[in-house]
Amino acid sequence: SQINHNAGEAGLVWTEANIVEYLADPQAFLKKFLTEKGKADQAVGATKMAFKLPNEQERKDVVAFLKTK
């Protein structure tokens, strides 16, 4: 999606902490990231990630799984 692309162009690095935060609310994470980078004007559109994973332990489990790949 364009908002993901914009975040990458603004320097987003997928650290464990960023993935855990992203999975909770992908759209809010990207908008916050871009706004904090001074690029609020690029925080438009929607990510294709349609679901949220509100449970922190489940998000950490996803990261642990990704680390095995």
pTM: 0.91
Residue range 3-18: mean pLDDT, rounded? 97
Task: Provide the pLDDT for residue 54.
Answer: 96
- Residues 44 and 66: their CA atoms lie apart, in Å, by 28
**pLDDT at position 50 over 90:** no
Q: What's the CA gap between 46 and 6, in Å, rounded?
A: 11
* Residue 35 in this model has a pLDDT that exceeds 90: yes
Q: Residue 43 corresponds to which amino acid?
A: A
